[in-house]
C-alpha cells in the first residue's frame, strides 16, 4: 500500500525551503513518485519563478508519465505570474494527484479541474500541517491583512527587563538564533518608538543566514532619531507609521534617505493599528513579527490584530521590572484572554510557548 502521508511529509519539507523568499505567494513543495521511487522533486523558490509542481515535473521529465504527484497546496488553474500548473500536469501524463489542502484563493480550482480532465485526485492528506505551514498566506488571501505574531522573551516571573530597563539578554543564544531565523521567514518586524529609543535595535538576521526583513516602527510623533540603527542601515527597508502630528521637515529628511512614511489615523492618542494592518496588507506585507515592548504588545492584542503569540520563558528571576504586556483592561481572571492550540518547546535553556488568539 502506498504511504500517502510519508510522501506528503516530504512535500511539506520541500515547501519549507522557500521560507523568506516566496511572499506573497504560498510555500509549496511537490514530488513525483513512480513505482515506489521518487523521480522528481521541486519547491517554489521565489515569487514569480516556476511553481513547485513545474520544477518536479521538469526533474522527472518522461518518468512523470503514469506517476503520482504529491503537493501540499492545490495546483493553480489560472494564468497569474506563471502559466497554470494543471495544464502541465495533464500534459506530463501524471495519473494521480494527492493534495494536502485547498488553496483559499477563489481564482484557483485545480482540484476540480484535474478531476474534470480525468486525473485521479484526492485532497486532505496532512491538511492541518499544510494549513499551519501557510498560515500567513491563508490570512492574507482571505482578508488582505498580514498574519501577526507577538514575540516576547521574559524571565520566569514575567519580566522583559529589569527596573533600570536592562534586557540584554534574557534568553540564551539558542533562543536568539531561533528568533533571527524567524525574522528571515517573516515579511516584516514591527517595534514601537520606545523600543528604538531605549534599545536602538538592528532587527537583522545576523546570527543566521537569510534576508533581513522590512522594519516597521509605530511612532505617532516621529520621535526616533535620524542616527538610529534602523534608519542608518537599509533605510529603504524601513516603514515608519506616524500621524499628521509628525514634523514635516523630519518626514522630508527621512523620505530623502529612502524611508517609507505611512500617515495613519489616531485613535485614543495612538496609531490606529487596524487601519495600519490594512495599509500594510495593500503593499503585500503578509506576515509581521511584533518585537515591541509591553505597550505595543498589549495594543496589538487589544486591537484584535494579533493572531499568534511566541513567548520565550527563561529560567531566571528578575523581580520588580518591566512586564511583557501592558494594560489589557482586564479586571477579572475569568475575563482573561485564553490561548488556543498550545505548543511547548525547549530551545537551549529556554522554553518557547506558542499559542493562537
Helices assigned H by DSSP within the chain: 4-16, 52-60, 85-92, 110-116, 127-133, 135-143, 173-185, 193-199, 229-232, 248-256, 273-282, 294-302
Reduce the DSSP state of residue 312 to 3 states and report it.
strand
CB-CB contact of 80 with 114 (8 Å): no
Helix, coil or strand: residue 64:
helix
Whether 53 sits among the annotated catalytic residues: the reply is yes
Residue with cell 540564551: 172
DSSP state of 26: P
For residues 32 and 38, the answer to whether their CB atoms sit within 8 Å is yes
User: Whole-angstrom Cα distance, residue 7 to residue 72?
Assistant: 10
Burial class (CB in 10 A: 0-12, 13-18, 19+), 339: middle
Per the CB < 8 A criterion, the answer to whether 148 and 288 are in contact is: yes
Closest among 115, 11, 20 to 73, alpha carbons compared? 11
Phi, psi for residue 134 in degrees, rounded to 5:
-110, 30
Q: Identify the active-site residue in 53, 113, 185, 299.
A: 53
Query: At a CB cut-off of 8 Å and minimum separation 6, what does 80 contact?
Result: 107
Give the single-character DSSP code of 320: S
Q: Are 304 and 274 in contact (CB under 8 A)?
A: yes
Catalytic annotation, residues: 53
Amino acid at each position: 500500500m502506498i504511504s500517502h502521508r510519508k510522501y506528503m511529509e516530504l512535500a511539506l519539507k520541500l515547501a519549507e525551503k522557500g521560507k523568506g523568499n516566496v511572499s506573497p505567494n504560498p510555500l509549496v513543495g511537490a514530488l513525483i513518485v513512480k513505482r515506489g521511487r521518487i523521480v522528481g522533486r521541486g519547491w517554489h523558490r521565489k515569487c514569480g519563478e516556476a511553481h513547485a509542481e513545474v520544477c518536479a515535473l521538469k526533474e522527472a521529465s518522461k518518468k512523470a508519465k503514469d506517476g503520482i504527484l504529491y503537493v501540499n497546496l492545490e495546483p493553480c488553474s489560472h494564468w497569474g505570474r506563471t502559466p497554470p500548473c494543471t495544464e502541465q500536469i495533464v500534459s506530463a501524463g501524471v495519473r494521480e494527484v494527492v493534495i494536502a489542502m485547498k488553496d483559499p484563493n477563489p481564482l484557483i480550482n485545480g482540484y476540480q479541474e484535474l478531476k474534470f480532465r480525468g486525473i485521479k485526485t484526492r485532497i486532505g492528506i496532512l491538511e492541518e500541517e499544510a494549513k499551519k505551514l501557510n498560515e500567513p498566506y491563508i490570512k492574507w488571501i482571505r482578508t488582505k491583512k498580514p498574519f501577526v505574531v507577538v514575540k516576547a522573551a521574559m524571565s520566569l516571573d514575567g519580566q522583559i527587563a529589569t527596573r533600570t530597563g536592562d534586557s540584554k539578554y534574557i534568553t540564551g543564544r539558542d533562543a536568539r538564533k531561533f528568533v533571527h531565523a524567524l525574522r528571515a521567514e517573516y515579511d516584516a518586524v514591527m517595534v514601537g518608538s520606545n523600543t528604538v529609543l531605549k534599545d536602538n535595535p538592528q532587527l537583522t538576521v545576523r546570527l543566521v543566514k537569510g534576508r533581513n526583513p522590512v522594519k516597521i516602527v509605530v511612532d505617532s510623533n516621529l520621535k526616533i532619531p535620524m542616527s538610529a540603527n534602523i534608519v542608518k542601515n537599509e533605510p529603504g527597508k524601513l516603514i515608519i507609521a506616524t500621524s499628521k502630528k509628525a514634523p514635516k521637515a523630519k518626514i522630508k529628511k527621512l523620505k530623502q534617505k529612502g524611508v517609507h512614511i505611512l500617515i495613519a489615523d489616531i485613535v485614543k492618542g495612538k496609531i490606529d493599528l487596524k487601519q495600519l494592518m490594512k495599509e500594510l496588507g495593500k503593499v503585500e506585507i503578509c506576515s509581521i513579527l511584533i518585537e515591541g515592548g509591553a505597550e505595543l504588545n498589549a495594543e496589538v492584542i487589544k486591537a484584535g490584530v494579533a493572531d499568534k503569540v511566541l513567548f520565550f520563558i527563561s529560567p531566571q528571576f528578575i523581580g520588580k521590572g518591566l512586564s511583557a504586556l501592558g494594560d489589557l483592561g482586564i479586571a477579572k481572571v475569568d475575563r482573561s484572554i485564553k490561548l488556543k492550540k498550545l505548543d511547548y518547546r525547549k530551545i537551549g535553556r529556554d522554553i518557547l510557548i506558542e499559542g493562537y488568539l
